[in-house]
Amino acid sequence: MPSPEGPHVHHGTSRRTLLTASAALAAAAAAGGVIARSATAEEPEAELRKLISRMSLEEKVGQLFVMWVHGHSAATPDKADMDTNVQKIGVRNAAELVAKYHVGGIVYSRWARNIRDPHQVAELSNGIQRAGLAKSNPVPVLISVDQEHGKVARIGKPATLMPGAMALGAGASTADAREAARISGLELAAMGIKQNYAPVADVSVDPANSALGVRSFGADPKAVGSLVAAQVEGYRLGGVAATPKHFPGHGGTALDSHLGLPRITYTARQWEELDAPPFRAAIDAGAESIMTAHIVVPALDGRETPATLSQPMITGILRERLGFDGVVVTDAINMVSVREKYGEDGAAVLALKAGCDQLLGPASLEVSWNGVLNAVRRGEISEQRIDESILRILRLKSRLGLFSHPYVSREGVDRVVGKAAHLAAADRIAERTTTLLTNEGRLLPLNPAARPDVLVVGADPDAPSGTGGPPTAVLANALTGLRFRARALSTGTDPTRGQIDAAVARARGKDAVIVAAYNVTGPQRTLVAELAATGVPVIVVAMNNPNDIAGLRGQRASLATYSWTDVELRAAAKVIAGAVRPRGALPVPVKRPDNPAQMLYPIGHSLKY
């Protein structure tokens, strides 16, 4: 039976041929209608192979690419978005992108102005599918997004925003991780998004890894593996393909691969112990796609080729040793870590030769598309090798129901996205993740019955998509709702002397001061120290990396929320007020900033009251 909450992912064998189905889809696409078929969605392998046999080489090459395209509409985006598209990809809109290059996938992003509200996202998805199914050889498009939750969430309110990976790691509940992914999957699928580039399967080996940080579930490979597997299962229940990333594991380097080519220096045995377990768990849980990393691991490939382009790592390890036969999608090949050395066309060709299937986001689609096309024509890559990747991609589209149910509806969005039960589940899950790290003199919880007068100060980083405002204001509002007298004063990530003085002046006479800390800087340390010197109790809320606690002195209590989205800050407010008890435990160690060899708080540290 189809789930009343969202789209049903069918399994089994279709009684109709794919040719008949494609013709029906094309006819409905031309009419702008919604497909309704009595046959199941998963097409027999023979029918998928027939579809491939009818494709031209140009269509086959197009199926390998996943692209960004600017605009909120598939056919009529704003003029500025049209102009950007013409400049960057030589077409005006998503419909023309599909028609010209036959791309097999499109990935949504807020910076590409794809996301305004759920109804608009759903209609954009429908417009893209109409373009894919209006071609002479119709094929639905696989639409993807980076919706990790926590600090990386492309789609915000009114969609349900869940705690991020490290918060779920602190909660240590596979049931919660599965439920968070299931709900997220249901909402994404209702908007026509059937592949999510999540969860992050990287283990937090190096705490200085700025590109990873709280996007990881934690530092224990086994625990990370359990949560990754749970989320793979949850997304499948929601009708979406999870995409664990970034194989073979990005956690052991401090360098961001957007900025350079990171290098992992540990041994093959260390890789087996540290990075392999989450990917093994993901595959065992039935992961249908996996994303690669642009990192060099000499112990796994002595040629020091980036993993995305490495045949020993992608084919030799991921496919042959780990047994993964799903879709391998590259990390964006426009990133400097591969583009500068190998070129737009070279990176795409090498990724396919390595064993990848989907080529994500080249800076120049024309150059990369022609590079692959010419590589096949000159025999550098066989057409049979291309067909192998297309078959994997079509299998995935088939299993996700895109051949039978390519369209979504406003009614489906209204029924599923941001429903009250989902929002309540997000709050319950978040309440099990907040971690109490210090609590001198049992300061917490503060008694709401006494109507505490508190000042909330600190950093207000750019909020993740769709939050309720600056974090200090969200915290103050949440406390006000819990019978506190709370006011917010933003002092920024690098408070000036004047901002520090103003905060100190406002703090005098208060019952407590709450400092929202984020990527702690010298001025933030000064702020906390001078607030503590007033004698007013200081409570620090570490809104990003819990290691920020190690750089501060003078606070009486400290908590970790692992992100600054509303759901996590509301949970922190409840812990401060005693409305819920702190239940989270550190999923990563906290070390001294001046001596990383010295542990302040180990994995599993938590305080209760």
Instruction: Note the pLDDT tens digit of each residue in 158-180.
Output: 999 999 999 999 999 999 999 99
* Closest among 473, 485, 469, 521 to 500, alpha carbons compared: 521
The pLDDT, as a whole number, for residue 210 is 67
Last residue of a domain, one of 416, 443, 466: 416
Regarding whether 596 and 471 lie in a shared domain, the answer is: yes
Mean pLDDT across 406-430: 98
Q: Report the number of distinct structural domains present in the chain.
A: 2
Catalytic residue (one of 83, 258, 284, 453) = 258
For residue 88, tell me if it sits in a domain.
Answer: no
Instruction: Note the pLDDT tens digit of each residue in 477-504.
Output: 999 999 999 999 999 999 999 999 999 9
Last residue of a domain, one of 390, 416, 442: 416
Instruction: Note the pLDDT tens digit of each residue in 546-581.
Output: 999 998 999 999 999 999 999 999 999 999 999 999
Instruction: Note the pLDDT tens digit of each residue in 215-253.
Output: 999 999 999 999 999 999 999 999 999 999 999 998 877
Q: H or E element: which one contains 223?
A: helix 221-237
Instruction: State the Cα–Cα distance between residues 157 and 53, nearest whole angstrom.
Output: 43
Instruction: State the Cα–Cα distance between residues 393 and 397, nearest whole angstrom.
Output: 6
Which residue type sits at 596? P
The pLDDT, as a whole number, for residue 257 is 56
Regarding whether 401 and 457 lie in a shared domain, the answer is: no
Residue 591 has pLDDT above 50, yes or no: yes
Residue 331 falls in the annotated catalytic set: yes
Regarding whether 451 and 388 lie in a shared domain, the answer is: no
Out of 301-310, 352-361, 533-542, 590-599, which region has the weakest mean confidence (pLDDT)? 590-599
Q: Residue 210 has what DSSP assignment?
A: T
Regarding whether 405 and 517 lie in a shared domain, the answer is: no
* Closest among 197, 199, 196 to 166, alpha carbons compared: 199
325: containing domain: 18-70+102-416
Catalytic residue (one of 176, 206, 220, 331) = 331
Q: Residue 172 has what DSSP assignment?
A: T
Residue 48 has pLDDT above 90, yes or no: yes
**The CA-based dihedral angle spanning residues 389, 391, 394, 395, taken in that order and rounded to the nearest 10 degrees:** -110
The pLDDT, as a whole number, for residue 8 is 36
Tell me the CATH number at 451: 3.40.50.1700
The pLDDT, as a whole number, for residue 32 is 38
Instruction: State the Cα–Cα distance between residues 485 and 479, nearest whole angstrom.
Output: 8
Regarding whether 451 and 322 lie in a shared domain, the answer is: no
Regarding whether 524 and 398 lie in a shared domain, the answer is: no
Regarding whether 452 and 565 lie in a shared domain, the answer is: yes
For residue 81, tell me if it sits in a domain.
Answer: no
Instruction: State the Cα–Cα distance between residues 377 and 97, nearest whole angstrom.
Output: 23
Instruction: Note the pLDDT tens digit of each residue in 251-276.
Output: 877 656 556 688 899 899 999 999 99
Instruction: Tell me the pLDDT band of 31, cut-offs 50, 70 and 90.
Output: very low
For residue 118, tell me if it sits in a domain.
Answer: yes
Mean pLDDT across 428-453: 97
Regarding whether 447 and 388 lie in a shared domain, the answer is: no
Instruction: Note the pLDDT tens digit of each residue in 368-389.
Output: 999 999 999 999 999 999 999 9
The pLDDT, as a whole number, for residue 592 is 85
For residue 76, tell me if it sits in a domain.
Answer: no
Q: H or E element: which one contains 540?
A: strand 538-542
The pLDDT, as a whole number, for residue 465 is 56
Last residue of a domain, one of 416, 448, 469: 416
Return mean pLDDT, the chain.
91
Regarding whether 505 and 390 lie in a shared domain, the answer is: no
In which residue are the tokens 């540990």 written? 266
pTM of the predicted structure, to 2 decimals: 0.92
Give every CB contact of residue 406 below 8 A, 6+ residues apart in sequence.
Answer: 25, 29, 35, 129, 132, 133, 140
The pLDDT, as a whole number, for residue 262 is 86
The pLDDT, as a whole number, for residue 30 is 41
Out of 21-25, 132-136, 144-148, 149-153, which region has the weakest mean confidence (pLDDT)? 21-25
Long-range residue pairs from 369-375, CB within 8 A, at least 24 positions apart, any chain = 369/61, 369/62, 369/65, 369/101, 370/345, 371/343, 371/344, 371/345, 371/346, 372/61, 372/64, 372/345, 372/348, 373/57, 373/58, 373/61, 374/345, 375/345, 375/349
The pLDDT, as a whole number, for residue 3 is 41
For residue 589, tell me if it sits in a domain.
Answer: yes
For residue 116, tell me if it sits in a domain.
Answer: yes
Tell me the CATH number at 308: 3.20.20.300
In the numeric block, which tokens belong to residue 530? 């001078």
The pLDDT, as a whole number, for residue 103 is 98
CB 141 within 8 A of CB 132: yes
For residue 83, tell me if it sits in a domain.
Answer: no
Instruction: Tell me the pLDDT band of 18, cut-offs 50, 70 and 90.
Output: very low
The percentage of the chain sitting over the pLDDT mark of 90, rounded to a whole number, equals 83
Regarding whether 453 and 367 lie in a shared domain, the answer is: no
φ, ψ of residue 208 in degrees (nearest 5) = -85, 5
For residue 198, tell me if it sits in a domain.
Answer: yes
Regarding whether 516 and 576 lie in a shared domain, the answer is: yes
The pLDDT, as a whole number, for residue 608 is 95
Regarding whether 395 and 449 lie in a shared domain, the answer is: no
Instruction: Tell me the pLDDT band of 28, cut-offs 50, 70 and 90.
Output: very low
Residue 460 falls in the annotated catalytic set: no
Residue 534 has pLDDT above 70, yes or no: yes
